[in-house]
Structure 1
Amino acid sequence: MFSVGPLNPLRSALMMLGACSLIAATTILAKALGTGLLGEPLHPLQVSAGRFIFGFTGLLCASAFLRPKIEAPAISLHFGRSFFGWAGVSLMFAAVVQIPISDATAISFLNPVFGMLLAIPLLGEKVGPIRWSAVFIAFIGALILLRPGTTAFDPAAFIALLAAFCMGVEVILIKKLTGREPPLQILLINNGIGAVIACTAASLFWAAPTALQWAALISIGLVMISAQSLFIQSMRSGDASFALPFSYSTLIFATIYDFWIFGAIPGWVSVVGAIVILSGALLLGWREIVRGREQTIK
């Protein structure tokens, strides 16, 4: 679905790295807004509202030039994808306020694992031993980060785990949508519905932002849309097997930003847990690519 025009591996890699750096930037902005670095702390639901409202505004501006045709949208699928996307973003923003961004980001990489597990009952997919092994490895990494039964255990880590689950559900719904509708239509409708959901939820916790906080909220929305655009362009410029591994650089960027702004240094447990989760996620990603090629040949 993404292979359009000649492949350019270098461009693909640079686009993916750019997307990951921007995704990590939105997370650090959410942490700054939620911890009071830019004024009185804002509720995570208000922060996620900024992400969807201004993201949707940016897409509307782009649509004024691109003039996409909205044809036969699957509204029920769009609503489900938008709801779980909003829930995943909101929970992620809540998690990074309470636990290190490196831990929250690593746990979020469980979303393809949850997506695979959900694909069994929802899409009727069959799972072989390699993919089950990837799931086992990834969950071992999650247990290392969650640290259950120790004094270092932080219940807030479960917020990031729930965020990963919501993102996993979103992955399933995206799979259904991408086979029916063009990317810009999906982005436009989903961000529009997400903006309505986010505004409704944020109205219960709304506090007047300062000028600096407004700037950060606007930046989160526009930066995330830019990241999504770069991601799509990366996938168009290179094979998925080449581009997707670069997506895990989000963890590197998030760790650098967290250290630069908040002085946070990941402990050895966080490093080991992240490596184990990434190993499982990469194994699962590799197997998905192999399966895709096998189905193409058939």
Structure 2
Amino acid sequence: MFAPKVQNPALAALLIVCACAFIAATTLFAKALGTDQFGTPLHPFQISFGRFLFALLTLGTVALILRPTLQRPHLGLHLARTTSGWAGVTLMFASVAYIPLADATAISFLNPVFGMILAIPLLGERVGKWRWLAAGIALVGAMILLRPTPEGFQPAALLALGAAVALGLELSFIKKLTGREGPFSILLVNNAIGLCIAGFAVSFVWTQPSGAQWALMAGVGCAMAAAQACFVNGMARADASFVAPFSYATLIFAALYDVAFYGVIPDGVTVLGAAIIIGGALLLALREGGRAKPTAKRPPL
């Protein structure tokens, strides 16, 4: 078993905010790769391949230097978790080529809602009125962001919605892995399996990237590795209910990157939909955090 980290809420908050900046950077790089800014647009499978390749190279280098103690992995859970995670990031990378980063990021925040729903059949969890209310609020925000009118509907937004479903499924498998293995071990195995899956998928669509595109793919992988490292270490140093609000800083960074690099300013629909989704997801996170405390013996929500 791995030794738990010393609790440090301030450091945890800083690590989560750093993770948010890196996560938003991966979507920024993916957007550049999925458009013709630096050559022929790359297929989302190819962008995902770069993400797992360079993330594994980064983590592998760290492992060679630090020589951490690794636990024996539960391969079945890792395979299920990584497959759903690969599908989620691939759909996310596909969506940002067509819609603003802020919209795609906000829709992806539905993943804890879908994780809650999928936990019913997969984990046998009971869901009460407060958790259903949180899910309903978040889904209303998603409907606003989807702009379901003939003039405003963006089909690519459905890709981001699919990403949220896949990442929600990943959350269910992550819950099963919690307590079994240390953070670094989980990251290393996740990216190794992910590279195998992504390598098979990209073999059907591979095109030769330009030098700039190779650099951007390296940026996607290194930024994701940094984000994962910050996130798991932040989560290990404070309660989930404390760090949850800071995780929504991803949307702030995504909006800032959109303005800085593409001149896209979030409109009122984006702000309203994102605020509603975050409100619902935050309510769910806070209720989950309250239920997780062993001293708070409450009936199922």
Shared fold, TM over 0.5: yes
Q: Distance in 2 between matches of 1:17 and 1:155?
A: 30
Match of 2:5 in 1: 4
Query: Contact conserved, 1:54 with 1:222, CA < 8 A, in 2?
Result: yes
Match of 2:137 in 1: 137
Match of 1:42 in 2: 42
> Greater CA deviation, 59-68 or 159-168?
59-68
Pairing 1:264–2:264 present = yes
RMSD: 1.7
Matched residue of 2:46: which SS? helix
Q: Distance in 2 between matches of 1:236 and 1:230?
A: 10
Q: Deviations over 1:90-148 (max 9, x none)?
A: 00000000111111100000000000001111111111111010010001001111122
CA drift at 1:296: 6.7
Paired residue type of 2:125? E
CA drift at 1:150: 3.4
Match of 1:54 in 2: 54
Aligned positions of 1:102-121 closer than 5 A: 102-121=102-121
The gaps in structure 1 that reach 5 residues or longer are none
Matched residue of 1:98: which SS? coil
Instruction: Normalising by structure 2, report the TM-score.
Output: 0.94
CA drift at 1:242: 2.1
CA drift at 1:295: 6.4
Query: Contact conserved, 2:70 with 2:182, CA < 8 A, in 1?
Result: no
CA drift at 1:11: 2.2
Aligned length in residues:
297
Aligned positions of 1:19-168 closer than 5 A: 19-168=19-168
Percent of aligned positions with the same letter in both sequences? 52
Query: Contact conserved, 1:3 with 1:235, CA < 8 A, in 2?
Result: no
Query: Contact conserved, 2:184 with 2:229, CA < 8 A, in 1?
Result: no
Matched residue of 1:238: which SS? coil
Q: Which has the higher helix share?
A: 1
> Greater CA deviation, 219-228 or 62-71?
62-71
Match of 2:226 in 1: 226
CA drift at 1:3: 5.8
Instruction: Normalising by structure 1, report the TM-score.
Output: 0.95
Paired residue type of 1:213? Q
Paired residue type of 2:35? T
The gaps in structure 2 that reach 5 residues or longer are none
Q: Distance in 2 between matches of 1:123 and 1:2?
A: 26
Q: Distance in 1 between matches of 2:51 and 2:25?
A: 12
Matched residue of 2:248: which SS? helix
Paired residue type of 1:19? A
Query: Contact conserved, 1:111 with 1:164, CA < 8 A, in 2?
Result: yes
